[in-house]
Amino acid sequence: MSRHYSKRYKQGCLNIEKRKKGPNVWVLRWRDEQGTNRKEKVGTVEQYPRKKDAIEACELIRQNLNRDVIVPYTVKQLVEHYQHHELPNKTPYTQEVYNGYLSTHLLPKWQERSLSKVKATEFEEWLKTLPLANGTKAKLRNLMHSVFTHGMRWEFVNSNPISLVRQSAKRQRTPDVLTVDEINCLLKELQEPWRTAVFLAVTTGLRVSELLGLQWGDCDFKNGEINLMRGVVRQNVGEMKTEASRKPVPVNSVVAEALKMWRSQCAYNQDQDWVFASVDMDGKQPYWPTSGMEKHIRPAAERAGIQKRIGWHTLRHSFGTLVKAGGADVATVQSLMRHANVSITMDRYVQAISEAKREAQDRLVNQFQRPNASTFLTSPPVTG
């Protein structure tokens, strides 16, 4: 059973206090449960000339101050404290993900390790042994860092060893992007509602949480835009995270017609209904994205002869890449992708298509005068 830690550990602050008569003294100051400042004399600077010695002399005082406080000694105990005090402030989805990382990866290896024995180099070497993507390893590193930061805030530990751990989140392979022809072939193999869902995703760049969070009232067909009001992750409804994410999304007339056609066919078409409402759940919640991808979209891709590994994020990657290849400037792509930072747009989402690269080079080369083959054969070599 998890233990709850209701009282804060009193570490106190050790300083030298000057005296008018006699040697200066070391004094430990702290704040009690009522918020009143307290202090106690540790000893003189003659008794403890080094601060290290004075700190060790404080230990008995601290033990008396914290008799009713259970101090986390192991990683497991600190994690339990973190789960009780910090995780409730996160979204339900974040709680689920963090608890999964803790129980699957971090605790099996580190739970019995005393906090003082967790070292940066060992943790870094352990990360290298994990058969996981760099992004996942970086998330494990950041979560462990948060746990120790929590320990510092509650004054259970004095430092965070994970601050020195280096772990890149750089992708080890370039994610797949669908071509226009592949997207058309995929759409031909899909049935509703997944045909409209994929078409909307690949023409607007919506994240799957935003796609499933759409209600018909969010679709402003008159002004040709979609107003993003919420996101749905594992059936948990949440607000948009950033101001950039909340910006309206333009909807082309062809896309708008596809949405209107789907609205005329679906059983749940009122303003307050989900655009992709689950029939099995009587429209009370949207479809599960994993089920749609595994049971409908990937099988359709196989029938279409598409060999690439497809996920919901593939559609968003494809949107960003195709828009950029079509001649849009970086600022426009960033705005359409609704990224707060342009580096995210360029580094993670927008890939150059080989045909676009070739055309760009052709445009440059065609500006020069074509040399004859004999020019290269008869020209003397450059010397000096």
Which of 41-50, 100-109, 176-185, 338-347 has the highest mean predicted lDDT (pLDDT)?
Answer: 100-109
Same domain, 135 and 51: no
CA distances from 352 to 265, 283, 308, 319, 326 (A): 38, 40, 17, 12, 11
Q: Which of 90-94, 161-165, 307-311, 349-353 has the lowest mean pLDDT?
A: 349-353
Same domain, 148 and 49: no
Domain containing residue 142: 75-164
Domain at 109, CATH number: 1.10.150.130
Given a cut of 70, whether residue 131 has pLDDT beyond it is yes
Same domain, 249 and 350: yes
User: Average pLDDT, whole number, for the chain?
Assistant: 83
Same domain, 270 and 300: yes
Given a cut of 90, whether residue 140 has pLDDT beyond it is yes
Given a cut of 80, whether residue 79 has pLDDT beyond it is yes
Q: Which residues pair with 340 in a beta bridge?
A: none
Same domain, 202 and 336: yes
In tens, the pLDDT along 297-343 reads 999 999 999 999 899 989 988 888 888 877 777 777 777 777 767 66
Q: Please say whether the beta carbons of 37 and 23 come within 8 A.
A: no
pLDDT top residue among 156 and 368: 156
Residue 129: exposed, middle, or buried by beta-carbon count in 10 A (0-12, 13-18, 19+)?
exposed
The residues, ordered by sequence, that sit 6+ positions from 9 with a Cβ below 8 Å of its Cβ are 66, 69, 71, 154, 155, 156
Given a cut of 80, whether residue 261 has pLDDT beyond it is yes
Given a cut of 90, whether residue 103 has pLDDT beyond it is yes
In this structure, which amino acid lies at residue 175? P
> Tell me, what's the pLDDT at 219?
93
Same domain, 213 and 324: yes
Supply φ then ψ for residue 266, to 5 degrees. -75, 160
Same domain, 46 and 88: no
The tokens describing 16, both together, are: 């030298």
Whole-structure pTM value: 0.63
Which of 2-16, 48-62, 201-215 has the highest mean predicted lDDT (pLDDT)?
Answer: 201-215
Given a cut of 70, whether residue 374 has pLDDT beyond it is no
Same domain, 121 and 196: no
Write down which residue in 133, 164, 195 finishes a domain.
164
In tens, the pLDDT along 203-255 reads 888 989 899 999 999 999 998 888 988 888 888 887 776 776 777 888 888 88
Average pLDDT over residues 71-79: 86
Average pLDDT over residues 130-136: 90
Domain count, the chain: 3
Write down which residue in 101, 136, 164 finishes a domain.
164
Average pLDDT over residues 60-64: 74
Domain at 235, CATH number: 1.10.443.10
